[in-house]
Each structure stands twice: as structure tokens, then as C-alpha cells.
Structure 1
Amino acid sequence: MGSRALYLVVSAASAAEGVPALVRLLQDDGRRVTVLSTPLGARFHDLAELERLTGEPVRVDYRMPGTGRSLPPPDTVLACPLTFNSVNKFAHGHADNFAVGLLCEMAGYGVPMVVVPHCKPQLASHPAFRTALETLRGMGVTVLHDADQADEYEPPAWSDVVEAVRAVSGAGRR
């Protein structure tokens, strides 16, 4: 089977296991990963390492017409880690940066998506966040966040994230 294209959207949240480890797991699962970042997210992640792993520059900004090359069409989109702010923007269609705009566009195309929010429990308990998660789920997005454990929220292990990507892409277990 050929490589399956996956967009990995990152934002301004750190990840205990590290995003490079997630990229490696996705690649081991047969995925060709393209990383996109919110502008502030670019400060939180080692872009040089992500570029080295994927062989592609991390996309942060829109490209000007006629410049650069288009992204390969994705089979799946994974937004992980996604901040409180980016979750809310995505759910409400506030596409004020390339990464969130791409999430909105891919939802419009019906590309299977997994969103892994990462925020403080105090933010996760905000009614707007809970509404945003419901909106995303209503759009058919798989959201890996349990609002009932907001006080002691632990993000899922990368292996669980990869399993969720497999499930939405129809790949199942290998």
C-alpha cells in the first residue's frame, strides 16, 4: 500500500511526548506527514526537527499565488495539540491564520479529522469550549477530549491518537 497523506496541524501547546515522536509513529503507520502550524504554535515546536523528519517545510503562512508548491491532498487531518483558542476558532469558522483556515477548508471537503485539544482545566470548563467541542463532533470530527474529566485532564497517549487516526481513515489495525 502506498503512503497515505496526513496533515498534522499544531498550535501553541506543548506536548509531553513531543510532536516529533507523534510524527515518527504516524510515519511508522505508513503515513506521509505534512506539518502545518499556527503562527504562535511555531514558537512551541522544533520546526527544524519536524522538517527533518517529514522532508517538507512546516507551513505557517498562506503561500502567494504562483509561488511554492501545493500541498498533497490529505486522506486524513490530525490537529494535535490544539489549544483552547484554536479549537474555538475552528469550531466557529474564524480562519484568521493558515492552519485554522486549512482545518475549516478540509472540514468542508469532508476529509476525516481527529482533533486533540490541549488546554488547562480552567479553560476546558469554559462553556464556549464545551460548545465548540459539540460543534466539531456535530461536523463529524473525532474529538479526543473527555469534558467530564476536565479537572484532571490528561491528553491521550500518542498510541491512542494514532489509533483514532486509523479509525477515522478506515485503516483499522495493521
Structure 2
Amino acid sequence: MTTGVTTSPGAARPPMIGIVASAAGGLERLRAGLVEPALASGWRVGVTLTPTAARWLNAVGEVEAMAAVTGLPVRSESRLPGTARPHPPVDCYVLAPASANTVAKLALGIGDNQALTQVGEAVGDPRVPVVVFPRVNAAHARHPAWPGHLAALRNAGVGLVEGPKVFPLAEPAEEPERDLPWAHILDAVAAALASRT
């Protein structure tokens, strides 16, 4: 396996991006849309999936493909106590695509799977920026609790990639007007990394 990034001894290590994804529309394009462009940017990448996202991507061979391009295992389960961490320490997390369920749980501090445990901890750690792309439809956004979830994440310093210019929301059962805003997500990660220095 290759990592996509090599460094010489004594060189500054490239940033480690923790890409976390949930079962939402566009997930099947995660490798081409986010993982490979992040590697091409010179970043190291570790991928963690919610259990349902892992089932979806396992069914189409994408879990193995992402492990091959990143050189790291794709996580979807917690490690056992005393076992080594499969990914290096993360410099920035990006949760994309994030389902309405995942966004709500993150805003409420619920870490009921490996993906949410990692990102939830980072939300509380000012040293590790978090970027979230909520992949929801217009009905999700009209739910009375939705504005509060986004406000809670913003107040915690989470960078949200959202809005009609970034990704217009479709009604339920309608196809979105465009692909997921992968370039906007990558730009938000780059900005979050730059803010750390």
C-alpha cells in the first residue's frame, strides 16, 4: 500500500486529515471526490465510516479501494483496549457527507459509533479543527431542531460547508441540482489547517 505522501527524515510531516463519512447521498463518490484530491494536495488521509456507510461502501468495493490509496485501514469499528491506533494523530477532521442524523448526534454530543466518537472528541478540542458538510434535503433543514443543531456546531467552532450557493437543497426524493461540493469542502479544510499555524 502507498500513503500518497512521502517525507524525508527531519522534514515537516504533511497534515493528517481524518475524513469521516456517514450514509448520505454522494457517499459512493467519497474516494474520487475527497480522498484522492486530499492526497493530491499533499495531505495524509485516514478514513472512518459510520457502520451504515461502511456497509454501503463495502458492497461496492470502495472500502478496499480507499485503504489502498491511503495506505491505512478504513475504520468503522472501535479498537479493542490496548490495541494500537490504526491512524496517526489527526490535524483536521472533515465530516462529509454528513447525514441529518449524524449532524444531530454530533450537535448533541452523542458518540454512539467510532465515527461520531472521533469527531465529537475533536469538537471539544480547540487544537483540532472540524469541518462538516451536512448532506441533507430541504425537509431536514425545515425541521424545527435543525437550526439549533447548526448553531450548536458553529458555536463550538465547527466550520460548516453549507448554503444555497454551495449546495442547493432538493426536496425529498428529488435529485440534487449538482454533485456534492467537493472543492468547497477541500477549501474549507485548507482554511482550517491554515488557521492552526
Task: With the length of structure 1 as denominator, give the TM-score of the two structures.
Answer: 0.89
Bigger mean CA offset, 43-52 vs 112-121: 43-52
Show the counterpart of 1:96.
Answer: 112
Q: What does 1:29-48 align with in structure 2 at a 5 Å threshold?
A: 29-45=41-57, 46-48=62-64
Tell me: CA distance 1:26–1:90, structure 2 relative to 1, closer, same or farther (3 Å). same
Q: Tell me if structure 2 keeps the 8 A contact 1:7–1:34.
A: yes
Stretches of 4+ moved more than 6 A in 1?
Answer: none
Q: How many residues align?
A: 172
How far, CA to CA, are the matches of 2:116 and 2:72 in structure 1?
A: 19
Assess, with a 3 A threshold, how the Cα gap between structure 1 residues 109 and 16 changes in structure 2: closer, same or farther: closer
Give the match for residue 19 of structure 2. Answer: 8
Deviations 1:125-160, CA, capped at 9 Å, x for gaps: 212122111110110001011279545765652111
Kept in 2: contact 1:130–1:147 (CA 8 A): no
**Counterpart code for 1:112:** P
User: What residue ranges of structure 1 are gaps of 5+ in the alignment?
Assistant: none
Query: Pick from 79, 89, 111: which aligns with 2:95?
Result: 79
Q: Which has the larger radius of gyration?
A: 2
* Pairwise CA distance, 1:20: 0.7
- Is the Cα contact below 8 Å between 1:118 and 1:155 reproduced in 2? no
Amino acid of the residue matched to residue 157 of structure 1?
P
Q: Give the deviation of 1:124 after TM superposition.
A: 2.0
Which deviates more, 27-36 or 70-79? 70-79
Q: Which residue of 2 aligns with 1:128?
A: 145
Counting aligned pairs with the same residue, the percent is 35
TM-score, normalised on structure 2? 0.79
Alignment of 1:118-157 (within 5 A): 118-146=135-163, 149-151=168-170, 156-157=180-181
Gaps of 5+ in 2: 1-11
| Conserved 8 A contact 2:131-2:160 | yes
- 1:169 is aligned to 193
Asked if structure 2 preserves the Cα contact closer than 8 Å seen for 1:14 and 1:81, the reply is: yes
Work out whether residues 136 and 169 of structure 2, in 8 Å CA contact, stay in contact via their aligned partners in 1.
no
Offset at residue 54 of structure 1 (A): 0.8
- State the SS of the aligned residue for 2:112: coil
Instruction: Provide the rounded CA distance (Å) in 1 between the counterparts of 2:132 and 2:184.
Output: 12
Q: 1:34 to 1:137 in 2, by over 3 A?
A: same
Distance 1:70 1:20, change over 3 A: closer
Give 1:65 deviation, angstroms. Answer: 1.1
**What SS does the aligned partner of 2:145 have?**
helix
